[in-house]
Structure 1
Amino acid sequence: MTASDDLLTLLGSAYDAISGGDVTSLVPRLAAGATCVVTDEVELTQERLSLATAIARLADLAPAGHRLVGGPAPLVSESADRLWLTDHPTVVLADGTQRPLQVTLLATCAADGSLLVDQVNLAAPVRDRAAAQPDLVG
């Protein structure tokens, strides 16, 4: 199994853990100081926080019936001991409403062959940019 395969497996495990509401199995896979940048274009906000905190916040949605579903074809690239991944998962709310996301992940392959996630960028893009534009004139 290649490092790229390991990263795809880790991504699937992360989605399952978040949807199940228990992310304790993911913590050992996070590099020390791992960060997450969350951008919500609808709310016009951006936040930088620890990756462990971001994952816990997503998992807190599970008891209400929300889940995270992976995208159809994550893309992985690697160079030496660095790996990049991009995916387009969907948050499915309890009422069936779907909110698309974009995930970009950066990981490092440690000397023992294990993967450590260094950074995740999580974006909630605007579906209809024209409708989301603030009225700056009126």
Structure 2
Amino acid sequence: MAIVITLDYPLIQTYMVHSALLVVKLLALSPMAAMTWVRKGVFSNPDIVRRAYLSELKNLAPFWLVGALYVTTTPPSDIGISLFRMFTAARMIVILGYASKPVPEVFTDFGLILSYLITCYMSMYVIYYYRNAI
């Protein structure tokens, strides 16, 4: 079975764009937190920043790996694109909760759960697709 993946494939393009957006979000975490603390007159709490980075790294690393594997299964583009968009939106909501608390905690929790479930779904899809290799 030969899998041909080109950069013209919309799912690949979406994966690349959303991966880059998530990297920018990760890099923007410190300045976002600093601006919030300065605006509120609160001095930096390194523990909050550390927890936010760890949360992001624990969720983004598996997403990037599984997302790259997922696109090799040539899933329906509309489903794959929707999954990448929902994951990115969920992680944006989570980081807003960490950085400045403008969103209710229930939304942050929903973002955490949704991003986790999307990564799990893509993982299971990849395992099922390549099940004969086990």
Same topology, TM > 0.5: no
Greater share of strand: 1
The TM-score with structure 1 as length reference comes to 0.30
The TM-score with structure 2 as length reference comes to 0.30
Q: Choose between structure 1 and 2 for higher RCO, CA contacts under 8 A separated by at least 6 residues.
A: 2
Report which of the two structures shows the higher radius of gyration computed on alpha carbons.
Answer: 2
Greater share of helix: 2
